[in-house]
Amino acid sequence: MSLRRLEDAANPWVSWQYVHDNADSILAALREHVTLTAEAVVLAAVVAIPLAVVAYWFRPLSGPILALSGVLYTIPSLALFAFLAPLSTDTGLVLSALVMYALLLIVRNALTGLRQVPAEVRDAAQGMGYGRFARLLRIELPLALPGILTGLRLATVSTVALTTVGVLIGHGGLGQLILGGFRNNFYRAPILTGTVLAVALALVLDLLLAGAGRLVTPWARRGRR
């Protein structure tokens, strides 16, 4: 027991000394994490929103689109990294895996948002002479914004958590700190620092997106999650 207490004293969970001495590598890990997350969510949105629109316009396609992104989502992240690892081991690989996982969350929520546009609104728009694209851009997408934002928020938070798995091929952002600490003789300070930063990053990004959502949908103050 005394040995363990001694060990606890020498290996604290929280160590400002560690943070101070390793500020550079911590910041580099954080930067990589933020970059990967932002790129992944933006790319996923660029792919997912058009997919949701296609599924919305052509109802028979919505089943296959949701099923395909669902299967991609079910593949375990470690397996996905394992599939992709023989191809290369650069950040692009982590990025593509993250995009695949974010895809389903955004497609599903965007589609739900689009389908919630009331039929009367669509009829009115058609009656006013809106074509298919004008209706989409001016009426349907704005009204689906709460759903799209929900998808983006879920995707962002889970991408922040998932990025750490990229450590498997050496690009895991804060995951490098977490696993690095574990492998470095169970050094606790980097583990907790990485964890706290990852959770904080997820919450901050979520709040930012929620705030942006409030700004762009002033009519939906009491909107859905």
Partner 1 sequence: MSPGTAVGQAVTWLNDPLNWTNPGGILDRLTEHVTISAAAVLLGAVVAWPLGVWLGHSGRGGAVVLAVSNVTLAIPTLALLTILPLTFLGFGQRPVIVALSVFAVPPLLANAYTGVRSVDPQTRDAARGMGLSGWQLLTRVELPLAVPYLAAGFRTAAVQVVATAALAAFVNGGGLGQIIAAGFGLSIAVGGGQVLAGGLLVALLALAVEGLLALVQRVLTPRPLRRAGRSGDGAVTAGA
Binding region for partner 1 (CB under 8 A): 71, 73-83, 85-87, 101, 104-105, 108-109, 112, 154, 157-158, 160-162, 164-165, 167-168, 172, 174-175, 178-179, 181-182, 186, 188, 191-192, 194-195, 198-199, 202-203, 206, 225
CB 145 within 8 A of CB 217: yes
Contact 174, 34 (CB under 8 A): no
Q: How far is the CB of 29 from partner 1 (least distance, A)?
A: 13
CB-wise, 117 or 150, nearer to partner 1? 150
Report the residue number, 152 or 174, with the smaller CB distance to partner 1. Answer: 174
**Beta carbon nearer to partner 1, 88 or 126:** 88
User: Smallest distance, Å, CB 70 to partner 1?
Assistant: 9
Tokens in use for 214? 């409030």
Of 81, 13, 66, 33, which is closest to residue 200 (Cα–Cα)? 33
Residue 54 or 199 with smaller CB distance to partner 1: 199
Q: Report which of 170, 147, 156 is spatially closest to residue 217, judged by C-alpha positions.
A: 147
The distance of closest approach from Cβ of residue 192 to partner 1 in the complex, given in angstroms and rounded to an integer, is: 7
CB distance 16 to 192 below 8 Å: no
Query: Min. distance of Cβ 23 from partner 1 in angstroms?
Result: 20
The CB-of-191 to partner 1 minimum distance in angstroms stands at 5
Degrees, nearest 5: CA angle 120-64-81: 125
The token pair that represents 107 in the structure block: 């497609």
Distance of alpha carbon 114 from alpha carbon 187, whole angstroms = 49
Residue 138: phi, psi to the nearest 5? -95, -25
User: Which CB sits closer to partner 1, 65 or 125?
Assistant: 65
